[in-house]
Amino acid sequence: MSAELLDDLEAGELSVQFEGEEPDTVLAWALERFSPRIAISTAFQTDGAVLLHMAYELDPSVRVFSVDTGRLPQETYELVEQMRERYPKLQLDLLSPDAAAVGALVGKHGPNLFYKSVENRLLCCQVRKVLPLQRYLGGLDAWITGLRRDQWATRSDIRKVEIDHDHGAIVKLNPLAEWTEDEVWEYVREHEVPVNPLYEKGFTSIGCAPCTRPTSAGEDLRAGRWWWETGAPKECGIHCAIETGGLEHELHALLGDDHD
Amino acid sequence: MSVTLEQVLKRNSVERLKREKSPLAILEELPALIAAGYESVPEEDIVRLKWWGLYHDKPKIGTFMLRVKIAGGLLGSKQLRAIGELSNEYGRGDAELTTRQNVQLHYIELAALPEVFARLEAAGLTSAGGCGDTVRNITGCPVAGLAQDELFDTTPILEEAATLFYGNPDYSDLPRKFKISITACADACAAPEINCVSLIGALRGGEEGFGVLVGGGLSSVPRIARELGIWVPKGEAIDVLAAILDEWRGDLKYRVSRVKARLKFMVDDIGPEGMRGRIETRLGRRFDDFALPPRPRASNHLGVHERYVGVPVHLGLVSGDQLIALSELGPEVRITRQQNLVLVDPVDGVADELTRIGLPLDAGELRGNAIACTGEPHCNFSVTETKSRMDGLVRLLEARFPRGQLDGLRLHLDGCPHACAQHWVGDLGFQGTTVRDEGGRRLQAYDIYLRGSLDRPAAIARPVFRRVPTEELDDAVAGLVGGWIEGRAEGESFRDFCDRTTDDELAVLAGREAHVRRAA
């Protein structure tokens, strides 16, 4: 009989204990407790890059993963190369979507299907992002995200330790929950963490190339993602991180049962 | 270490959002929001709409759940009819009764809100503070003023509290939500152990007053409330409620992080003694020591009584048409925390009428006691079916066991850790989760919580079985309930049975391995 990692009661108490603690305290605890069946999720935005840097300092053998949808901007791939040089022992898993599923999707709806309807866009997110994530999490006991409370009005209650009931009740850690955007950038500068050059070109949120664009000063940040859509679910207009589980709930509601 | 407002605003985006624009004031902007259209409404304003009892339905594409607050669950028939009509005209003809004695409607469109709010107001109803950082619906005994064994009728105090707190800007910028219950029935039936503050009626030398519990609450970090140890004369009850609220809302420490904002964390920090000291200092007077007498098992108010009938409402689901029909069956209706209804001074032949409208009085205790959260298809948090899965469990047990054998058994099912259906304190608590099968497909599953109860002493359950796939849940539940029925002593409750049974023995009954905690 295997002993459970954490239950909701323990996770709840831990989440209270870790309030006010620095991110690397939470990270150190998590790596100690869950290695080697723990990994960091990063989309190579600043939050994920900071997390990667912190974890690498603690333990260079830490596993890091990112979903390579196949449609990422060239700058993101260049950043990946830069990271590989900067962190030579980095154990980076780039998750590819299932080739047959992508083939079927593109064969049926075309390569730029996402511009045609919200359903198509969500289907594309499902095949290229969500399913690879779900498959990978199936092999973990815990995962670490860069989610922060100040990213979005509805993320204000994020806990540093949660049971991830969207993903088989593994443990989910959000060490940066309390940090502000400014603190993330300060850390980036202080530690010279490599960041995506697209930020300098006015991007506020970096996802797939066809679905992300820079915003100009004064423009609503939501204009940076899926700007052509009407009738899309709220909350996904910006920073639509797969880490929240929210996207999966919307997918379920709009597309029905799993498409895998 | 004292906390500054600057720190609060830096760390807590909701505190910023509340200060940028008062959520209550969003009502004045409704015409502009409607004119611009749902698409253009910023998510921050959607958050503010919570203060008027509104949540996104699922998916988040333009309709809302509306939570109508009903202090103490007390409604006139005309009000009930008004809610039924709103459901039919602006929703999709259905409604939910909630564990805080509210009524919730779904699929209300943004453009309809001004009319809906006007209709509520005309009926003497409100949704102000239905959600958000407010004093939530104040709960009470659903047969207050009707029960022969109550110590006194708390309705006037409950209404005074509701009038003071609901929609009051001073009490609508709280660190987080705040839950109050007020009872003076013999069994303190309003679940005082899981409210932030509860006034529990008592007598002292013939004088009417209250003992007080503080710091209860469930959600992700459950706490059973603790006794404040003071005697509060009836006339000072509102002062004490306000003083507790004022001490908490004025302490910036509880605004830095929403994870540690609820009153229960203040009680964790300073204890009931510390809380008592702060109340006494604030009010400038000492309260006498007082220990509440033991409280018996709480009634569910079902069945036929002298002044009322308690109607089990399966899953707490009613249609708009049923609400309208119910409004013809008596002058007053009350909503219970078990998601049921009480009809006051019902018309002759009420049993037949109830059967005719699909709410039979004899639906059984199991149905009356079972509660399930909103969940699928409405709620954005739930990861599993909730009410529909509960329906399956209830039907399974009804088919498997003689009905009388199941009396007293309380099933509580939630689709997420927020615990709206209070899975931490059911006889059998269920929390939705997921598992992957061998092919990697995601399956709905449930954790089974045992040994929790609101029976005194109240206790928080622990997950004894985890990740039970929904297809295997029936067998596990039937095994556990069957084991209790066969093995129980005369009158032994399910909780007591589980308390004296080991996890390994329960595992045999459930036909699966128990969850073993890893040593810390």
Query: Which one from A124, A208, A236, A240 is the annotated catalytic residue?
Result: A236
For tokens 């996402």, the residue is: A114
> For residue A53, what is the enclosing H or E element?
helix A46-58
pLDDT at position B150 is 96
Is A125 known to be catalytic?
A: no
C-alpha to C-alpha distance for A236 and A118, rounded to whole angstroms: 12
Contact status of A26 with chain B (Cβ, < 8 Å): no
Which amino acid would we find at residue B338? Q
- The residue written with tokens 């700058």 in the block is A75
Q: Which residues contact A66 (CB under 8 A, 6 or more apart)?
A: A41, A42, A43, A44, A48, A80, A92, A93, A94, A95
Q: Does A31 touch chain B (CB under 8 A)?
A: no
Given this model, what pLDDT does residue B365 score? 95
User: How big is chain B by its Cα radius of gyration, in Å?
Assistant: 23
Measured in Å, how far apart are chain B's first and last C-alpha atoms?
Answer: 30
Higher pLDDT, A243 or B122: B122
Percent of chain B predicted with pLDDT > 70: 99
Burial class (CB in 10 A: 0-12, 13-18, 19+), B451: buried
Indicate if the pLDDT at residue B404 is higher than 70: yes
Q: Which residue of A has its CA nearest to B441?
A: A260
pLDDT the model gives residue B148: 85
Residue B520 has what pLDDT?
52
Q: Do B434 and A165 touch (CB under 8 A)?
A: yes
Full DSSP string of B18-84:
HHHS-GGGHHHHHHHHHHH-GGGS-HHHHHHHGGGTEEE-SSSSSEEEEEEB-GGGEEEHHHHHHHH
HSE-CB for A7 with a 13 A CA cutoff: 22
Cα–Cα distance measured from residue B26 to residue B514, given in angstroms and rounded to the nearest whole number: 49
Q: Delineate the domains of chain B, giving CATH numbers in brackets.
A: 139-283 (3.30.413.10), 368-510 (3.30.413.10)
Question: In terms of Cα–Cα distance, which of B100, B58, B61 is closest to B194?
Answer: B100
pLDDT at B436: 85
By Cβ distance, the residue of A7, A13, A250 closest to B221 is: A13
Domain ranges of chain A: 8-254
> What is the complex's ipTM, to 2 decimals?
0.93
> Can the peptide bond before residue B156 be classed as cis, meaning omega within 30 degrees of 0?
no
CATH 2.60.40.10 fits A8-254, yes or no: no
DSSP state of B489: P
- Beta strands, E only, chain A: 3-4, 38-41, 63-67, 91-95, 142-144, 161-164, 170-173
- For chain A, state the CA radius of gyration: 18
Residue A245 backbone dihedrals phi, psi, to 5 degrees: 85, -20
Q: Which amino acid is at A89?
A: K
**Scanning every residue of chain A, which has its alpha carbon at the shortest distance from the alpha carbon of B262?**
A16
Which parts of B173-253 are beta strand (E)?
A: 180-183, 197-204, 207-214, 226-227, 232-233
> How is residue A123 written in tokens?
């289907």
The model's pLDDT over B276-330, given as tens digits with 9 standing for 90+, comes to 999 999 999 999 999 999 999 999 999 999 999 999 999 999 999 999 999 999 9
Give yes or no for A42 touching B (CB within 8 A).
no
One-letter amino acid of B490: E
Give the Cα separation of B73 and B97 in Å (integer).
10
**B304 residue type, one letter:** V
Backbone angles phi, psi at B428, to 5 degrees: -115, 110
The answer to whether B4 and B11 are in contact (CB under 8 A) is no
pLDDT in tens, B147-201: 889 999 999 999 999 999 999 999 999 999 999 999 999 999 999 999 999 999 9
Q: B92-108: per-residue pLDDT in tens?
A: 999 999 999 999 999 99
